[in-house]
Amino acid sequence: MSQQANNPFLTPYNTPLQVPPFDQVEPEHFLPAFEQGMAEQQRSIEAIHSNEAEPTFENTIIALERTGELLNKVSSVFFNLASAHTNPEIEALSKEIAPRLSKHSDDIFLNPALFQRVQKINDALDTPGLDAAKKRLLEKTYKAFVRSGANLSDADQAEMRDINKQLSVLTVRFAQNLLAETNKYELLIHDEAQLAGLPESIKANAAQLAREAGKEGSWKFTLHQPSVMPFLQYAENRALREEIYNAYITRCNHDDELDNKEIIVQITSLRAKRASLLGYSDHAEYVLEESMAKRILNVLDLLDRIWDAALPVAKSEALQMQELMNKEGDANELEAWDWFYYADKVRKEKYNYDSESLKPYFQLANVRDGIFKVVQNLYGLTFTEIRDIPKYHEDVMAYEVREANGDLTGIFYMDFFTRNSKRGGAWMTSYRKQSIKDGQRVAPIVSIVCNYAKPTGEHPVLLTAEEVETFFHEFGHALHGLLSNVEFETLSGTSVPRDFVELPSQIMEHWAFEPEVLKFYAKHYQTGETIPDEAIAKMKNASKFNQGFATVEYLAASRLDLYYHILWPEKRIEPNTFEQGWMQDMGLIKQIAPRYRSTYFQHIFAGGYSAGYYSYIWSELLDSDAFAAFKETGNIFDPATALSFRKNILEKGGTEEPAALYKSFRGKMPDEKYLLENRGLAKA
């Protein structure tokens, strides 16, 4: 009893809106809660498959859907903290718990008696009384068993278990190595002359990082995005740009204890073996079966068409930079560490556009309020900050989200700033998914996590245009989770194929720099002046510049992902050689590296995007076409279009096939021309 009384996971949450009691959670609480959660779910599973009554949707599928409440509760907190605010205890437990959770999952999906019941219900798919959502849940449940190996022989199931166990540990190691490697590096500068070209705000942040490291009087730059990317964009010192760039693109590639190459070899081989056991030609075929694209040829066809449009543009951009470089008296050949620096110079020269001069208009608090207004105009939602609520870090902000009529929509956390305990990138996640229980809608608890530089001195947080876009993007994911209105968690919110999940996020990016929206939030942090029309025009004129680079680096990573996942189990590769060979075959120019090199490609080796990194461009087909639906009305806040997008996309989760959902909204499948136009790749 004492253990249960002291462990916040083992009693009902006594917190506002039943959010996790972060202020009570200690590392030692996780393992007992995991163990009890697994034991409780296993008892529930035993009760289902030992039920002597004839299998029905209610006593098997719904009963299975409702199992694992405690395990889900502790898992959501643990794995979110492992990404957003980890510590040595959490990292150690991640390695310990991963294989145990893998075994627990296999014990469910490889349970023959349970599968027999699920299969019997699936064989009677046309049973009266099942609506479309229930049929979808049955289909997904049955497929989950089959794709986990339920139809395999005992020997093959044993091999499947071993593969899953190994993968669970390897993916954790990959992510932990990357975080440690990113945190390990520092570029420490003692001579201010070496900072020539850097804006004062970037220098102030570097000085703050140095002070926090006990190196007062110096300037510290790291491999975290808010530090390394401005350095590459503005630093005049070419040798230092080369140093930090090479450190960035060789993370976990130094043949030391943090090297990820052998982990990649093992992960790709194990995934290929698992796919082969299940009867697929490769891991890509296994993944794409559950995608909107369905087949790798469909993906490659899209990627090839866009590649053919983008690569000549990227080469033209490189020539422009080389010309400027030579014009300034530098006879060197343009290299990858020069790209960001000269791209900024060409942008200023060609469009009179200086991204740094716009940052004073992008104060984080104002951008946040601007997004709130956009969402209120579209969907009637209001956001009210909650101060007396548990949070896992002092930087986190919490909001109560309500409908126009006052009904609770959900609880929303935002975690903005870079820290050593947080992995890189930006993402949306859930602590509780929306569902309907006992006829009542269970409000979701959703969070977005970013990596912006913390404020220094008396200055507020000022964002770059790219960071503003990221904020809108993640907010779109959050809306997908918050506005979900389905019965079952398995089909809730973002529980859709990878190449559809980016539609709600990427469509939000379209509002970010619309002139009407900029007038909401782009206010100078010192004067309060609204961003001038002249500055908006410059942004628009420059918006398609460097899109050759942006498209090519993304597509290179997308194709690299696919190439890794069409390998067969016996294929022994060396990641550096493998990567370089494919880049040469694709014709990638030396000044552009894939957005993610293999050894730090966390999306595919420690995330959920294996054989699915292409999803962003696939979804961009949809979001570009979907935003055109708003533009065609002459009103980017058109109520009827917004309501249709909400009802057919945001509320529906995974209750129908993505193509059907999209057609319900748009009346047709998307037109590729909008994507090419938005990226400046359409032929004149």
Position 569 confidence tier, pLDDT thresholds 50, 70, 90 = confident
Q: Which residue in 644, 666, 558 sits closest to 306, CA to CA?
A: 558
Decide if 61 contacts 488 (C-beta within 8 A). no
* Phi/psi of residue 218, nearest 5 degrees: -115, 180
Predicted confidence at residue 483, as pLDDT, reads: 98
What are the beta bridge partners of residue 415? 449
Predicted confidence at residue 5, as pLDDT, reads: 65
Decide if 142 contacts 197 (C-beta within 8 A). no
Q: Give the count of beta carbons closer than 10 Å to the beta carbon of residue 668.
A: 9
Q: Report the alpha-carbon distance of residue 223 to residue 413 in Å, rounded.
A: 26
By percentage, how much of the chain surpasses pLDDT 90?
96
Predicted confidence at residue 458, as pLDDT, reads: 78
One DSSP character per residue, 498-539 reads: HHHHHHHHHHHHHHHT-HHHHHHH-B-TTT-PBPPHHHHHHH
595-613 mean pLDDT:
97
Query: What CA–CA distances, in Å, run from 196 to 110, 153, 192?
Result: 62, 66, 7
Predicted confidence at residue 125, as pLDDT, reads: 62
Q: Give the count of beta carbons closer than 10 Å to the beta carbon of residue 253.
A: 18
Decide if 595 contacts 317 (C-beta within 8 A). no
Q: Give the count of beta carbons closer than 10 Å to the beta carbon of residue 467.
A: 23
pLDDT tens readout for residues 200-244: 999 999 999 999 999 999 999 999 999 999 999 999 999 999 999
Decide if 585 contacts 562 (C-beta within 8 A). no
Q: Which residue in 165, 156, 168 sits closest to 278, CA to CA?
A: 156
Dihedral angle at the C-alpha atoms of 302, 671, 594, 233, nearest 10 degrees? 160
Q: Give the count of beta carbons closer than 10 Å to the beta carbon of residue 58.
A: 11
Decide if 431 contacts 20 (C-beta within 8 A). yes
Q: Report the alpha-carbon distance of residue 102 to residue 118 in Å, rounded.
A: 21
Q: Which residue in 54, 40, 51 sits closest to 104, CA to CA?
A: 40
The residue ranges of DSSP E strands in 288-434, in sequence order, are: 382-385, 397-402, 408-417, 427-432
Average pLDDT along the chain: 96
603-615 mean pLDDT:
97
One DSSP character per residue, 326-350 reads: HHTT--SPP-HHHHHHHHHHHHHHH
pLDDT tens readout for residues 7-45: 999 999 999 999 999 999 999 999 999 999 999 999 999
Q: Report the alpha-carbon distance of residue 273 to residue 9 in Å, rounded.
A: 37
Q: Report the alpha-carbon distance of residue 521 to residue 381 in Å, rounded.
A: 17
pLDDT tens readout for residues 471-493: 999 999 999 999 999 999 999 99
Decide if 603 contacts 596 (C-beta within 8 A). yes
**Whether the predicted pLDDT of 311 surpasses 50:** yes
Query: What CA–CA distances, in Å, run from 228 to 19, 202, 235, 470?
Result: 36, 10, 10, 17
Q: Report the alpha-carbon distance of residue 252 to residue 606 in Å, rounded.
A: 14
254: which 2 tokens?
A: 């130094």
Q: Report the alpha-carbon distance of residue 423 to residue 432 in Å, rounded.
A: 21
**Whether the predicted pLDDT of 2 surpasses 60:** no
**Whether the predicted pLDDT of 649 surpasses 80:** yes
Q: Report the alpha-carbon distance of residue 480 to residue 502 in Å, rounded.
A: 10
Integer distance in angstroms from the first to the last C-alpha of the chain?
A: 73
Q: Report the alpha-carbon distance of residue 213 to residue 208 in Å, rounded.
A: 9
State the Rg of the chain over Cα.
25
**Whether the predicted pLDDT of 648 surpasses 50:** yes
pLDDT tens readout for residues 403-432: 999 999 999 999 999 999 999 999 999 999
CA 536 to chain centre: 29
Decide if 507 contacts 475 (C-beta within 8 A). no
| DSSP state letter for 629 | H
Position 571 confidence tier, pLDDT thresholds 50, 70, 90 = confident
Q: Report the alpha-carbon distance of residue 621 to residue 338 in Å, rounded.
A: 31
428: which 2 tokens?
A: 């949306």
Predicted confidence at residue 124, as pLDDT, reads: 85
152-175 mean pLDDT:
98
Decide if 239 contacts 247 (C-beta within 8 A). no
390-402 mean pLDDT:
97
pLDDT tens readout for residues 94-149: 999 999 999 999 999 999 999 999 999 999 866 677 999 999 999 999 999 999 99
Predicted confidence at residue 475, as pLDDT, reads: 98
Q: Give the count of beta carbons closer than 10 Å to the beta carbon of residue 193.
A: 8
Which residues belong to the active site?
474
Position 1 confidence tier, pLDDT thresholds 50, 70, 90 = very low
Domains of the chain (ranges, CATH numbers): 2-151 (1.10.1370.40), 185-249 (no CATH), 261-332+547-605 (no CATH), 360-543 (1.10.1370.40)
**Burial call 82-107: b when 16+ CB within 10 Å, e when fewer:** bbbbbeeebbebbeebbbebbebbbe
Predicted confidence at residue 3, as pLDDT, reads: 52
Predicted confidence at residue 138, as pLDDT, reads: 96
